[in-house]
Amino acid sequence: MFIVFLLFSESVYASHYQYTVEFDDSLVSAKIKLCLDGEQDNYLEIDRFIAYETLIQKPKTNKKMVGIEGRFWNIKEFAKNTCLNYEVSFKDNRLKTDPKRYAFKNGSANQEIDKKIIHVEENNWLWLPEKRGYSDIIEIEFHIPENYKISTPWHRLDFEKNRYRLGYEPQEWGYHLIIGEIDLSIITIGKNRILNIATINASSQASSTTQSINNWLENIAKSIKYYLGQFPLKQMQIIVYPQPGIKRSPVPWGEVSRGNGLGILFVIRSDHDIKDFYSDWTASHEFAHSILPKLRYPDIWLSEGLASYLQYVLMAQNKQLTTEQAWRRIYKGLQKGLKGTQLVSKEKLLDVSNNRKTGPRSGRTMRIYWSGAAYFLKADIKLRAESNGKVGLSDILLKLSNCCLKGKKVWIGDALASKLDELSDTNLFSILYKNMAYSSAFPKFNKEFEMLGFQVTDNSIELGEFKENQLSKTIMTASNKTRNQN
């Protein structure tokens, strides 16, 4: 059962949209009742036409059918306090393996359907008001079959009842809704900050394995908290999908979704020893994505770059790597970015993401990830060097997380750079952005490593000797203890 409330900032009156969604015991379908309390928007909309394929019963009141106009339902003729009813099929949302991304068993795709779990990745059930302001509120309450649990990226309001509040990020940004026989753990990361960790097919794993994985994820989340001084979001959804099969990386797949709130999906190889997970960088990389807001596609080099840089900084702060090991891995990554840039034709960094769709991917991918890493490395070093170690990238990112992570805005790279300038009281980030975004060359980075205490050779292949100095130590180990009390 769902209950959704909305208040519209565009109006001086309150608008209340109350959805009641009742699943059958098999999770195959749900009957939905939507009651309009007070003034309401003229239209309800959904982001995907696929929703019409799953409608069992079209929307109607007790007396009249609702007008359907493409992705919109026309409700402007209905009086206050009217209730609409419709029914949706979730049969196609029963959990099944995706052979392109997830599991392989004995070398062939496993397409078995789990009838006790539904996994919604495309919105096929929730029509929302067309217009929504930042003062509007949507609250959701789930009543699901006994012994079933639910995982969403939405803000959980009540731990006894499954009540949530949707974020303002557009639903079409993608999200994961899991309902059924799953393991659910709620872990506190500082004051009023939690992880909602859902493990799919946990019953096939030893309980100690699930607990060990939860402990590992908690450890990574705390490294983010340590780095910033606080965990960036009040609540975050984590989905763990254990898959048997080929022994590859312990975390062969990870992805971030941002629709109505931030969630991370990890596909893991549970046949690995837990120590292998602590040696893997994937989780640190994906968690680091939570520090920046959503960026337009040509500027993903910034988001992927920050994650690539911080994946090793976080591992060093978390004692998974030594300071020297972390710097050497960053240097190796930058070399990959340089070589990747040399493998393709000259093109501005802003064009690389789009060109990757139609041309060679490998070299461009390395350029995207490690150009961005160079951007944040250069900024971090300059901030630390000019403040005698008192101010670094983490301080500026903390301010950014407090002001700018939520909402519908898709950031343009130069706008993000200007905001970082404002927060750091510099013009550092804008200068770096202009120098890199419109350049066809990979940024130079040997000078920065000399400042960190390395002896860099002429051919840029070996770092040479390393003598840890205050700059390299501060970046890899510094934490604001005052902030980390919460």
Full pLDDT tens readout for the chain, 486 residues: 444 433 333 444 456 778 888 999 999 999 988 888 766 788 999 988 888 899 999 999 988 999 999 899 999 888 678 889 999 999 999 887 554 444 433 333 445 667 789 999 888 899 988 887 776 777 888 889 988 999 999 988 887 788 888 888 998 899 999 999 999 999 999 888 999 999 997 666 666 689 999 999 999 999 999 999 999 999 999 999 988 765 678 999 899 999 989 999 999 988 888 999 999 999 999 999 999 999 999 999 999 999 999 999 999 999 999 999 999 999 999 999 999 999 988 999 999 999 998 888 889 999 999 999 999 999 999 999 999 989 999 999 999 999 999 889 999 999 999 999 999 999 999 999 999 999 999 999 999 999 999 998 766 567 888 998 999 999 998 665 545 555
DSSP label of 446: H
Question: pTM of the full predicted structure?
Answer: 0.90
CA distance 349 to 202: 42
Q: Where are the beta strands (DSSP E) in 97-247?
A: 104-105, 108-109, 113-120, 128-129, 139-142, 149-151, 155-158, 162-165, 177-180, 183-188, 194-199, 235-242
Q: Which two tokens stand for residue 236?
A: 């975050």
At what angle are helices 323-343 and 300-317 packed, to 10 degrees? 160
> CA nearest 262: which of 299, 227, 221?
221
Rounded-to-integer distance, Cα 225 and Cα 232, Å: 7
Spatial separation of the C-alpha atoms in residues 271 and 261, rounded to whole Å: 31
Strand order in the sheet with 113-120: 94-96, 113-120, 177-180, 149-151
CB burial of 260-278 (b: ≥16 within 10 Å; e: otherwise) equals bbbbbbbbbbbebeeeebb
